[in-house]
């Protein structure tokens, strides 16, 4: 029999811990609301510019800086030819495509040699960053702007470094081989140059391609998936990109520029030694190192996010793959934050150190721990009578409702700005998934992210298999 | 959290208020979403009807079956921005220069165009953009001051539209000022100004020639030499060619580029001399320019330049050879067996390209 005074102590402890969770929850969600408010003028500004037809003419000008597109590829024999063609046919005055075959075990290189009439050339560029051995360099007889590098397997970061060394142009666009880039997305991404902004990197929007109709490496009909797992991710991506990253433009810059679609100044990347091999989220690590580099050298260059250049990607459609992806992302976040802990709350790094880093540590990295703690304490509190059922239910309703409110707001922003999804049924689906997302999907991803702590401290460095269904012959629903 | 049972404001009550506020806000957002979608549909349908009426009146005028007035009246019925959109499309595609002037005279005093022209001093750049766009349609000499101010607008879209109005309003003094300003403009804006200068070539040439002197500041002079090449102004190009021994390598490079656009017997000799310049950038530009001249006389000098110690000069020389037709290709083929490994590698790289791929590289 537990003495009554012990029960009283447990109750008080639970109440205190629950209060901490409540304060954390209120602070975090208030910050989200703040991000949302800050994002509105940014969205308005970008929308005005993106709709400007004169600016579209400007963007088609041959005075834009030339860009090298870096494409790491591993076992992509089925889709590689269409992907390369879609990159080569992007609307942009001057670009080259550098595809790196990362020791694929399938026929990726053979397909490229046949489809693009490749011939072997001497590697006529300096190896500025050490990578796994290069087996051969090819050029195409059909497309002067295509270079293919065949190298031993070394991972995505290693491939990107090989491509970075071979790039001729002052700006590089890092993409995944299976990313579907809208034909004018690179032009839109180059907008800061037209507007005369000094930028170190620019990030564009990633959207969910599941259920979209894809032809020749392009999304020709944007749809919202009817499957709940992909549908919830559509809303999640909208929220993250449409107001999350936009707001960071005004709050110290983005700490994440997606590896699937990000434009960088090549000389800065070379100065920081390129991509870090061995990091499971090389894109976040790169963005943080770049921020650090710019601040330490007092270089006044921005790293903005622009909402209207769009690249589409396939998101996990099974819980197992989603679990691996989210665990890996969180493990990468932990690693990056620990590696760059010197920046945290350090005024030397300006808004990045004082606002962005604290948010990513306390609002993103620790979020799953606090959220799980909140759920567990609420349930235990119920069971031992420390929390009234009215309070517990209201707490859950408000917590879930807050998330839903932000998601619906993101849907509204999408509707009044870029309207990629034209059908009424898609808008209704988006609204539906905005409600569903807070009831199960979010809690599930919290659990996956929590596992990352265990794996990180055990020293796990694997990516985990990321199986995808592919876009071949995909019809819209 | 223990829920206090005492009276007054309790945490449960606060959460209750938050929940109700959230529900109201959510409902309002969803209602707004649905209302806005409906309104967008209704507005676009109404606009489509008005545009059809305008286009019918326009067809009548262009086909000579009616006067311009019904078309002008139909434009009055449209929202000012839509009327301007339609007018700008017409000017760019359908109207002849004469009918464009007739149209400009007819709409200049219309209230909607006056309203838009009045936005030239607005704080909102998209309003200034509309004003610049209207000036590109109806601007005249009396608008010079406004156009010059908009040319300096820090929003590039406004500046570009003001450049579109430039040929309508510019005089020699304004062209001179634009030439002086051009070198400092962002590269994209400069492209558009050069396109506007194309329409004013005769007026631009004397102003440009006055500026092409060795005493000019090198950064500025380089841009003016490039402009002479882009506009292919023979008088200005002759004057630029005389700067081939300028002490600044950037100027010599610009001269080499300009000579590639000057099909003149003296050009090849000057380029041959520039191929021996101390600066590899000048040598590379000269090699490329020899290819652009397209004369087989350049085969022999280019075959020597491919042995240059700088890789970019070898690259440009091989590209130039590749662009000189069959004889150039044959010369490249021979170079593949050259005992100098670097020459052979470069010849192999370029001669492997197909015709289309080679053209892509030459055009870069």
At A204-227, the pLDDT tens digits run 999 999 889 988 778 889 999 999
Cα–Cα distance list, B224 to B181, B245, B303 (Å): 11, 17, 31
Task: Tell whether A173 is covered by a domain.
Answer: yes
**pLDDT at B194 (0 to 100):** 92
Strand partners, A67: A95, A171
To the nearest whole angstrom, how far is the Cα of B144 from the nearest Cα of chain A? 21
- Grade residue A22 by pLDDT with cuts at 50, 70 and 90: confident
A96 and A177 co-located in one domain: yes
Instruction: Give the mean model confidence (pLDDT) for residues A384-412.
Output: 83
DSSP secondary structure letter of residue B142: G
Residue A353 burial by Cβ neighbours in a 10 Å radius (0-12, 13-18, 19+): buried
To the nearest whole angstrom, how far is the Cα of A442 from the nearest Cα of chain B? 19
**pLDDT at A56 (0 to 100):** 67
**Among candidate residues A203, A211, A183, the one with its CA nearest the CA of residue A421:** A211
Which residue of chain B comes nearest to A60, CA vs CA?
B188
Instruction: Give the mean model confidence (pLDDT) for residues B24-41.
Output: 88
Task: Tell whether B308 is covered by a domain.
Answer: yes
Which B residues 100-119 touch A at CB under 8 Å? none
Contact residues for A365 (Cβ-Cβ < 8 A; gap 6+): A330, A333, A334, A337
A312 and A413 co-located in one domain: no
Inter-chain CB proximity A391 and B12 less than 8 Å: yes
Domain of B302 in residue numbering reads as 272-364
Task: Tell whether A83 is covered by a domain.
Answer: yes
Inform me whether the pLDDT recorded for A455 exceeds 80: yes
Task: Tell whether B344 is covered by a domain.
Answer: yes
For chain A, say whether B48 makes contact (Cβ under 8 Å): no
For chain A, say whether B32 makes contact (Cβ under 8 Å): yes
Contact residues for A175 (Cβ-Cβ < 8 A; gap 6+): A69, A70, A71, A87, A181, A260, A261, A311
Which of B1, B44, B357 to substitute to test the interface with A, most A CBs within 10 Å? B1
Q: What is the mean pLDDT of chain B?
A: 88
Highest mean pLDDT (candidates A46-50, A249-253, B104-108): B104-108
A304 and A374 co-located in one domain: no
Pairing of strands A118-121, A95-102: unpaired
| A393: chain B residues, CB-CB within 8 Å | none
Which residue of chain B comes nearest to A95, CA vs CA?
B364
A306 and A384 co-located in one domain: no
Task: Tell whether B304 is covered by a domain.
Answer: yes
pLDDT-wise least confident of A124-128, A435-439, B12-16:
A124-128
Inter-chain CB proximity B356 and A395 less than 8 Å: no
Task: Tell whether A319 is covered by a domain.
Answer: yes
* A45 vs A349: which has the higher pLDDT: A349
**pLDDT at A476 (0 to 100):** 42
For chain B, say whether A391 makes contact (Cβ under 8 Å): yes
Task: Tell whether B105 is covered by a domain.
Answer: no
> Which of A54, A94, A141 is nearest residue B352 as measured by Cβ atoms?
A141
Inter-chain CB proximity B12 and A388 less than 8 Å: yes
- Grade residue A469 by pLDDT with cuts at 50, 70 and 90: low
| A57: chain B residues, CB-CB within 8 Å | 160
DSSP secondary structure letter of residue A213: E
To the nearest whole angstrom, how far is the Cα of A465 from the nearest Cα of chain B? 38
Which B residues 175-234 touch A at CB under 8 Å? 186-192
**pLDDT at B36 (0 to 100):** 85
**pLDDT at B1 (0 to 100):** 43
Inter-chain CB proximity B352 and A402 less than 8 Å: no
B82-98 confidence digits (pLDDT tens): 888 888 887 777 778 88
Instruction: Give the mean model confidence (pLDDT) for residues B277-294.
Output: 93
A264 and A391 co-located in one domain: no
What percent of chain B lies above the pLDDT cut of 70? 97
Strands (E), A152-281: 171-175, 180-181, 201-208, 213-215, 218-221, 261-265
Which A residues 84-143 touch B at CB under 8 Å? 94, 117, 119, 121-122, 124, 139-143
| B160: chain A residues, CB-CB within 8 Å | 54, 57-58
- Grade residue B76 by pLDDT with cuts at 50, 70 and 90: confident
- Grade residue B17 by pLDDT with cuts at 50, 70 and 90: confident
To the nearest whole angstrom, how far is the Cα of B15 from the nearest Cα of chain A? 6
Task: Tell whether A27 is covered by a domain.
Answer: yes
Which residue of chain B comes nearest to A66, CA vs CA?
B364
Instruction: Give the mean model confidence (pLDDT) for residues B72-78.
Output: 85
* A227 vs B61: which has the higher pLDDT: A227
A133-173 confidence digits (pLDDT tens): 999 999 998 888 999 999 999 989 999 999 999 998 999 99
Alpha-carbon distance of B80 to B101, in angstroms, equals 20
Give the total residue count for chain A.
477
Inform me whether the pLDDT recorded for B176 exceeds 90: yes
Question: Helix or strand or coil: residue A47?
Answer: helix
Task: Tell whether B322 is covered by a domain.
Answer: yes
DSSP secondary structure letter of residue B232: T
* A32 vs B144: which has the higher pLDDT: B144
Inter-chain CB proximity A401 and B32 less than 8 Å: no
The token duo for A61 is 């000008």
To the nearest whole angstrom, how far is the Cα of B137 from the nearest Cα of chain A? 14
- Grade residue B237 by pLDDT with cuts at 50, 70 and 90: very high
> Which of A15, A48, A49 is nearest residue B1 as measured by Cβ atoms?
A15
For chain A, say whether B11 makes contact (Cβ under 8 Å): yes
Which A residues 406-425 touch B at CB under 8 Å? 408-409, 411-412, 415-416, 424
**pLDDT at A279 (0 to 100):** 77
Instruction: Give the mean model confidence (pLDDT) for residues B11-23.
Output: 82
Task: Tell whether B147 is covered by a domain.
Answer: no
Task: Tell whether A378 is covered by a domain.
Answer: yes
A306 and A416 co-located in one domain: no
| A19: chain B residues, CB-CB within 8 Å | 1
The token duo for A259 is 């590896």
Inform me whether the pLDDT recorded for B277 exceeds 90: yes
Instruction: Give the mean model confidence (pLDDT) for residues A293-302.
Output: 92
Inform me whether the pLDDT recorded for B4 exceeds 70: no
Inform me whether the pLDDT recorded for A472 exceeds 60: no
Pairing of strands A261-265, A171-175: antiparallel
A86 and A226 co-located in one domain: yes
A60-89 confidence digits (pLDDT tens): 666 688 999 999 999 888 888 888 998 999
Which of B134, B188, B223 to substitute to test the interface with A, most A CBs within 10 Å? B188
Residue A169 burial by Cβ neighbours in a 10 Å radius (0-12, 13-18, 19+): middle
Rounded (10°) CA dihedral B125, B128, B133, B139:
-160
Residue B177 burial by Cβ neighbours in a 10 Å radius (0-12, 13-18, 19+): middle
pLDDT-wise least confident of A360-369, B153-162, B303-312:
B153-162
Domain of A377 in residue numbering reads as 4-38+358-458
Instruction: Give the mean model confidence (pLDDT) for residues A288-297.
Output: 94
The token duo for A150 is 């065949």
A8 and A90 co-located in one domain: no
B325-364 confidence digits (pLDDT tens): 889 989 999 999 999 988 998 998 888 887 777 777 777 7
Which B residues 294-313 touch A at CB under 8 Å? 311
pLDDT-wise least confident of A201-205, B2-6, B147-151, B337-341:
B2-6
Question: Helix or strand or coil: residue A308?
Answer: strand
A424 and A293 co-located in one domain: no
Q: Give per-residue burial for A305-321: e unless 16+ CB within 10 Å, then b.
A: bbbbbbbbbbbbbeeeb
**Among candidate residues A298, A288, A278, the one with its CA nearest the CA of residue A256:** A288
Inform me whether the pLDDT recorded for B6 exceeds 80: no
Inter-chain CB proximity B1 and A391 less than 8 Å: yes
Which of B28, B157, B185, B230 to substitute to test the interface with A, most A CBs within 10 Å? B157
Instruction: Give the mean model confidence (pLDDT) for residues B147-167.
Output: 89
**pLDDT at A31 (0 to 100):** 85
Alpha-carbon distance of B107 to B130, in angstroms, equals 15
> Which of B32, B188, B349 is nearest residue A412 as measured by Cβ atoms?
B32
Q: Give per-residue burial for B212-233: e unless 16+ CB within 10 Å, then b.
A: beeebeeeebbbbbbbbbbbeb
CB of A332 within 8 A of CB of A326? no
**Among candidate residues A89, A96, A91, the one with its CA nearest the CA of residue A60:** A91
For chain A, say whether B356 makes contact (Cβ under 8 Å): yes
Inform me whether the pLDDT recorded for A412 exceeds 80: yes
**pLDDT at A39 (0 to 100):** 84
CATH assignment of the domain containing B347: 1.25.10.10
B99-115 confidence digits (pLDDT tens): 888 888 888 899 999 99
Task: Tell whether A269 is covered by a domain.
Answer: yes
**pLDDT at A13 (0 to 100):** 80
**pLDDT at A135 (0 to 100):** 94
> Which of A18, A141, A415 is nearest residue B357 as measured by Cβ atoms?
A141
DSSP secondary structure letter of residue B306: T
SS3 content of chain A, % helix, strand, coil (to 5): 55, 15, 30
A343-346, long-range: CB within 8 Å, 24+ apart, which pairs? Answer: A343/A288, A343/A291, A343/A292
Which residue of chain A comes nearest to B85, CA vs CA?
A53
> Which of A58, A117, A404 is nearest residue B156 as measured by Cβ atoms?
A58
**pLDDT at A55 (0 to 100):** 64
**pLDDT at A468 (0 to 100):** 63
**pLDDT at B90 (0 to 100):** 79
Cα–Cα distance list, A76 to A106, A335, A470, B175 (Å): 8, 29, 10, 56
**Among candidate residues B178, B105, B192, the one with its CA nearest the CA of residue B147:** B178
> Which of B188, B354, B364 is nearest residue A141 as measured by Cβ atoms?
B354
CATH assignment of the domain containing A211: 3.90.550.10
What is the number of CB-based contacts under 8 A between chain A and chain B? 138
* A460 vs B81: which has the higher pLDDT: B81
**pLDDT at B253 (0 to 100):** 95
- Grade residue B39 by pLDDT with cuts at 50, 70 and 90: confident
Task: Tell whether A260 is covered by a domain.
Answer: yes
**Among candidate residues A99, A264, A68, A62, the one with its CA nearest the CA of residue A168:** A68
**pLDDT at A464 (0 to 100):** 64
Task: State the total domains in chain A.
Answer: 2
**pLDDT at B187 (0 to 100):** 78
* B137 vs A252: which has the higher pLDDT: B137
For chain A, say whether B338 makes contact (Cβ under 8 Å): no
Which of A18, A57, A92, A391 to substitute to test the interface with B, most B CBs within 10 Å? A391
Task: State the total domains in chain B.
Answer: 1
Inter-chain CB proximity B360 and A398 less than 8 Å: no
CB of A449 within 8 A of CB of A368? yes
Inter-chain CB proximity B348 and A55 less than 8 Å: no
Inter-chain CB proximity A142 and B354 less than 8 Å: yes
For chain B, say whether A23 makes contact (Cβ under 8 Å): no
A117 and A232 co-located in one domain: yes
Q: Identify the H or E element spanning A334.
A: helix A319-339
- Grade residue B2 by pLDDT with cuts at 50, 70 and 90: very low
> Which of B1, B22, B187 is nearest residue A405 as measured by Cβ atoms?
B22
């Amino acid at each position: 029999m537990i003495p009554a005074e012990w029960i009283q102590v447990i109750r008080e402890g639970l109440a205190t811990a629950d209060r901490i969770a409540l304060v954390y929850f209120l602070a975090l969600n208030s910050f989200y609301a703040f991000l949302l408010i800050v994002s509105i003028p940014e969205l308005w500004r970008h929308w005005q510019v993106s709709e400007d037809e004169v600016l579209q003419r400007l963007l088609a000008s041959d005075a834009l800086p030339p860009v090298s597109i870096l494409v790491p590829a591993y076992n992509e024999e089925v889709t590689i030819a269409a992907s390369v063609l879609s990159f080569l046919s992007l609307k942009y005055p001057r670009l080259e495509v550098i595809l790196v075959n990362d020791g694929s075990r399938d026929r990726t290189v053979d397909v490229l040699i046949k489809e693009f009439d490749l011939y072997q050339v001497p590697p006529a560029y300096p190896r500025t960053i050490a990578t796994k051995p290069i087996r051969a360099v090819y050029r195409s007889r059909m497309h002067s702007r295509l270079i293919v590098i065949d190298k031993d397997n070394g991972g995505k970061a290693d491939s990107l470094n090989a491509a970075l060394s071979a790039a001729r142009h002052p700006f590089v666009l890092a993409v995944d081989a299976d990313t579907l880039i809208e034909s004018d997305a690179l032009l839109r991404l180059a907008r800061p140059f037209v507007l005369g902004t000094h930028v170190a990197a620019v990030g564009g929007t990633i959207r969910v391609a599941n259920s979209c109709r894809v032809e020749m490496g392009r999304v020709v009909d944007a749809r919202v998936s009817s499957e709940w797992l992909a549908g919830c991710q559509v809303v999640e991506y909208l929220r993250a990109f449409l107001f999350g990253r936009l707001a960071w433009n005004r709050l110290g810059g983005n700490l994440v520029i997606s590896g699937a679609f990000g434009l960088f100044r090549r000389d800065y990347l070379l100065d920081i030694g390129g991509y870090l091999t061995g990091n499971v989220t090389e894109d976040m690590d790169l963005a943080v190192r770049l921020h650090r580099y710019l601040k330490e050298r007092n270089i006044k260059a921005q790293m903005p996010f622009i909402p209207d250049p769009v690249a589409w990607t396939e998101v996990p459609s099974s819980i197992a793959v989603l679990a691996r992806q989210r665990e890996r992302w969180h493990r990468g976040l932990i690693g990056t934050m620990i590696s760059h802990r010197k920046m945290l709350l350090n005024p030397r790094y300006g808004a990045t150190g004082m606002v962005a880093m604290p948010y990513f540590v306390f609002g993103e990295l620790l979020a799953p721990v606090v959220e799980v703690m909140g759920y567990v304490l609420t349930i235990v509190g119920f069971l031992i009578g420390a929390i009234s059922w009215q309070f517990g239910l209201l707490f859950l309703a408000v917590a879930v409702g807050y998330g839903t409110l932000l998601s619906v707001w993101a849907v509204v922003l999408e509707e009044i700005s870029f309207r990629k999804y034209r059908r009424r049924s898609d808008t209704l689906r988006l609204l539906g998934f905005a409600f569903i997302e807070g009831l199960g999907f979010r809690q599930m991803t919290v659990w996956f992210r929590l596992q990352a702590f265990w794996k990180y401290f055990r020293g796990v460095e694997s990516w985990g298999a990321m199986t995808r269904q592919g876009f071949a012959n995909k019809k819209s629903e | 959290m223990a829920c206090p049972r005492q009276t007054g404001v309790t945490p449960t009550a606060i959460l209750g208020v938050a929940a109700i506020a959230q529900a109201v806000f959510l409902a309002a957002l969803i209602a707004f979403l649905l209302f806005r979608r409906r309104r967008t549909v209704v507005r676009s349908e109404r606009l489509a009807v008005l545009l059809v009426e305008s286009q019918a009146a326009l067809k009548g005028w262009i086909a000579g079956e009616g006067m311009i007035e019904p078309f002008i009246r139909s434009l009055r019925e449209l929202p000012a921005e839509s009327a301007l959109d339609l007018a700008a499309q017409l000017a760019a595609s359908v109207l002849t220069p004469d009918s464009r002037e007739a149209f400009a005279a007819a709409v200049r005093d219309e209230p909607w165009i006056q309203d838009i022209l009045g936005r030239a001093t607005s704080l909102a750049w998209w309003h200034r953009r509309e004003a610049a766009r209207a000036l590109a349609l109806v601007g005249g000499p009396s608008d010079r001051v406004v156009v010059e101010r908009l040319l300096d607008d820090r929003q590039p879209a406004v500046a570009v539209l003001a450049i579109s109005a430039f040929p309508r309003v510019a005089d020699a003094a304004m062209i001179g000022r634009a030439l002086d300003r051009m070198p400092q403009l962002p590269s994209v804006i400069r492209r558009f100004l050069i396109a506007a200068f194309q329409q004013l070539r005769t007026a631009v040439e004397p102003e440009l020639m006055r500026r092409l002197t060795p005493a000019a500041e090198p950064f500025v002079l380089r841009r003016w030499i490039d402009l002479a090449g882009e506009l292919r102004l023979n008088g200005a190009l002759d004057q630029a060619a005389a700067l081939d021994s300028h002490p600044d390598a950037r100027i010599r490079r610009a001269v080499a580029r300009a000579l590639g656009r000057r099909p003149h017997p003296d050009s090849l000799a000057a380029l041959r001399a520039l191929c021996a310049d101390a600066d590899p950038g000048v040598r590379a530009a000269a090699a490329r320019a020899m290819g652009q001249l397209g004369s087989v006389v350049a085969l022999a000098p280019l075959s020597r330049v491919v042995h240059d110690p700088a890789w970019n000069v070898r690259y440009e020389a091989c590209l130039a050879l590749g662009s000189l037709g069959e004889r150039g290709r044959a010369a490249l083929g021979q170079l593949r067996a050259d005992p100098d490994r670097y020459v052979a590698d470069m010849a192999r790289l370029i001669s492997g390209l197909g015709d289309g791929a080679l053209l892509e590289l030459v055009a870069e």
